[in-house]
Homo-oligomer: A and B are copies of this chain.
């Protein structure tokens, strides 16, 4: 998608396949900088430090990291080590494990000398698949937006989103934002309420930055405000991404998503989650009990970074010195609060039956 009129993806390999380049998302929206990942350690650090984030993008960077690791040690022990090292970077997102499992299977079925090249090509294929899947999610979700627009032809469709599930969270298009981009390109009038998404502010920074780049009308709000807006009829639909969906349709997503789903339910606002099939964890049935929730550094709560008055990026401490903080990165929205899931294969109910209907090959 576009930044200041120029098309970007979040990730692109060198012409000679030596390195992969990513946008440093910790610097957005104030600075546009890229990082070159030349080693598997670079890739692991980029994921752990959230230079790249977003479940689908993490999966692709993990896949490239695995390919880089095969250039460092292509032995079977190296395969196991690369898988373990990259998987440990973020515990919650399902896509990372999915991509690493795929690379491990490929590597073990390939002669050692060919493993790096095969895995590099596979990482590229995973990236291309992600673009195709996100575009399909966009097409399916845009129909929901168009239906709401058809019922209210004289005003924009108001869509609330949480965190960043846009193109910056994927390779291109995004998951939750893909339907918005597709609908906007089809001429549907819409407006996006952007939850700032504390503590890391991915909404206020990344989602707002994306929507500016695509000229989509939007308004940043505190995470606290969505319930009030829904009580007053200011939200037509809520649309979020996901880091892991259970086989029963429970949706794990950025911390605070659950609160918005409750408010949507209380006010009759439809609540959708959008994700590619790689986000579905077919081994889990109870999201609240089973999905591991990453705890991140307390400093992400106690300190906030932004653009200082002098134009430099600065960090300020908001809590008194001496108060401790805790930082839970995700929560789980029970399936009963999810109107439907939007996948690359279409919509389905957030339920075991709904998911099996779309992914019959998982029924065994």
Interface string of A224-244 (1 = CB under 8 A from B): 111111011000000000000
Q: Are A318 and B301 in contact (CB under 8 A)?
A: no
A301 to B28 CA separation, bound complex (whole angstroms): 17
Number of copies: 2
A71 to B151 CA separation, bound complex (whole angstroms): 59
A219 to B319 CA separation, bound complex (whole angstroms): 10
Q: Are A309 and B320 in contact (CB under 8 A)?
A: no
Contact flag A307-B301 (CB < 8 Å), given A222-B223, A262-B266, A328-B225: no
A331 to B262 CA separation, bound complex (whole angstroms): 15
- Which chain B residues lie closer than 8 Å to A318 at the CB level? 196, 201, 204-205, 304-307
Q: Are A322 and B258 in contact (CB under 8 A)?
A: no
Q: Which of A170-178, A206-214, A351-359 interfaces with chain B? A: A206-214
| Nearest CB on B from A220, distance (A) | 4
Closest to A221 in B: B326
**What is the size, in residues, of chain A's interface with B at 8 Å between Cβ atoms?**
67
Contact flag A301-B222 (CB < 8 Å), given A198-B196, A208-B319, A208-B320: yes
A323 to B221 CA separation, bound complex (whole angstroms): 11
A328 to B223 CA separation, bound complex (whole angstroms): 11
Q: Which of A310-364 contact B (CB under 8 A)?
A: 313-320, 322-328, 330-332
Q: Would you call A61 an interface residue if the criterion is a C-beta within 8 Å of the partner chain's C-beta atoms?
A: no
Interface string of A160-198 (1 = CB under 8 A from B): 000000000000000000000000000000000010111
A256 to B227 CA separation, bound complex (whole angstroms): 7
Q: Are B316 and A305 in contact (CB under 8 A)?
A: yes
Q: Are A220 and B259 in contact (CB under 8 A)?
A: no
- Which chain B residues lie closer than 8 Å to A228 at the CB level? 255, 258, 293, 328, 330-332
A316 to B313 CA separation, bound complex (whole angstroms): 8
Closest to A305 in B: B316
| Nearest CB on B from A40, distance (A) | 32
Q: Are B302 and A307 in contact (CB under 8 A)?
A: no
Q: Would you call A263 an interface residue if the criterion is a C-beta within 8 Å of the partner chain's C-beta atoms?
A: yes
Q: Are B301 and A221 in contact (CB under 8 A)?
A: yes
Closest to A320 in B: B29
Listed residue (A201, A319, A326) with the most chain B CB atoms within 10 angstroms of its CB: A319
The 18 listed contacts between A and B (C-beta, < 8 Å) are A29-B320, A197-B224, A199-B222, A209-B323, A219-B324, A225-B256, A227-B256, A228-B330, A228-B331, A231-B332, A258-B263, A259-B262, A259-B263, A262-B263, A305-B316, A307-B316, A314-B314, A314-B316
